[in-house]
Copies of this chain bind each other. A is one copy, B any other.
Amino acid sequence: MQTEGIVLASRPAGMPSAENFRFEAVSLPELQEGQVLIRTTYISVDPYMRGRMSDRKSYIAPFTVGEVITGGAVGIVAASKSKHLQAGDTVTGDWGWQRHAVCRDKQVRKVDERYATAALGVLGMPGLTAYFGLLDICQPQKGETVVVSGAAGAVGMTVGQIAKIKGARTVGIAGSDEKLAYLRDELGFDAVVNYRSDQLKDELKAACPNGVDAYFDNVGGTLSDLVMRLINKHARISICGQIASYNLEKADVGPRVQTPLLMKSAMMKGFIVSDYAPRFKEGAAQLTQWVQEGRIKYREHMVEGFERTPEAFLGLFKGENTGKLLVKISE
């Protein structure tokens, strides 16, 4: 069977562009015992995927030029040679950016079709990233100030809401008035700051009158340099992403953080969600409960059409999305 896929045509230097992608016919292998044929319904585009487009050493293997790009996806089983899955089941997993895929049944996970897209967001990798990166590293306490950058993204908005559940004062940083209004008015962030403001330093300070006890950083760069100037004694900084650096062509240089960490007995820790794999069940159960109780809301930014997948991905780096950025491939 033939399907259509998107391959990495070339590695980007700096900001990726449409030219780094190519649409190609892909031959699917014959279905084997234990495998399913999946019709892709949604593709997830995520900032971490930028790292895989380069060939430098990172925490995940790079994509191969000329091969189909892989990432989180949801689909419906079209044909099954698995004992565990049957045609019509909704499943999620990591497979190619292609309209159809053949996967081993163990590589995918059946999900409630009502939460099909949430499986790629608040109940999936981004939600678990928020849950563990905030609770394990930032350890927000009642009354503390928690700052989150990239607050209008899938991870950031979940972080802010969990921090609120834990009783912290939550400050969200994002890049448009629409996003800020959403965070403040819909999600209950206590204060919001636009990182594009030319009074950013003063606005951050005003938003954190008691300093910063915990910082969940999705962004890095000069924004984070400013946040670091506001940290309190014993602050915890969770490094989840550094989207400001992903497309840099030269070394990422800035004020060294060692001195503020020393002066404040503060801690900074990087992580990747898979560090917490043994606790995924716990995290997913808690997130599901909070979503069902209405204590965590989520929002999806849906782009329609397989052909727009690269464009959707590129939008991540322009701050186009509020909430989880998804591409709808089929019904």
Contacts and interface: CB of A to CB of B under 8 A. Distances in A.
B265 A271 contact: yes
Contact of A245 (B57, B242, B256): B256
Interface stretch (A33-41, A113-121, A175-183, A247-255): A247-255
Contact of A267 (B254, B257, B265, B267): B267
A149 to B, nearest CB: 11
Contacts of A253: 253-256
A133 to B, nearest CB: 11
A269 interface: yes
Interface residues of A, number: 34
Given A253-B253, A253-B254, A254-B253, A242 B267 contact: no
Contact of A252 (B242, B259, B263, B269): B259
A325 to B, nearest CB: 21
Interface in A249-283: 251-272, 275
A272 B265 contact: yes
B241 A262 contact: yes
Interface in A205-262: 217, 220, 224, 239-242, 245, 251-262
A308 to B, nearest CB: 29
B266 A270 contact: yes
Contact of A242 (B239, B258, B264): B258
A58 interface: yes
Contact of A262 (B242, B257, B259, B266): B242
B265 A268 contact: no
Given A251-B255, A252-B255, A261 B265 contact: no
Contacts of A264: 59, 270
A252 to B, nearest CB: 5
B261 A268 contact: yes
Contacts of A255: 251-253
Nearest to A254: B256
A280 to B, nearest CB: 16
Contacts of A275: 265
Most buried by B among A240, A268, A272, A275: A268
A59 B254 contact: no
A263 B256 contact: no
Given A58-B263, A266-B269, A267-B269, A256 B257 contact: yes
The 3 residue pairs across chains A and B that have the minimum distance between CB atoms: A261-B270, A262-B270, A267-B269
27 contacts: A58-B263, A220-B256, A220-B258, A220-B259, A224-B258, A239-B258, A241-B262, A242-B256, A242-B262, A245-B259, A251-B255, A252-B256, A252-B259, A253-B253, A253-B256, A254-B256, A257-B257, A257-B268, A258-B268, A260-B270, A262-B270, A262-B271, A265-B269, A265-B271, A265-B272, A265-B275, A267-B269
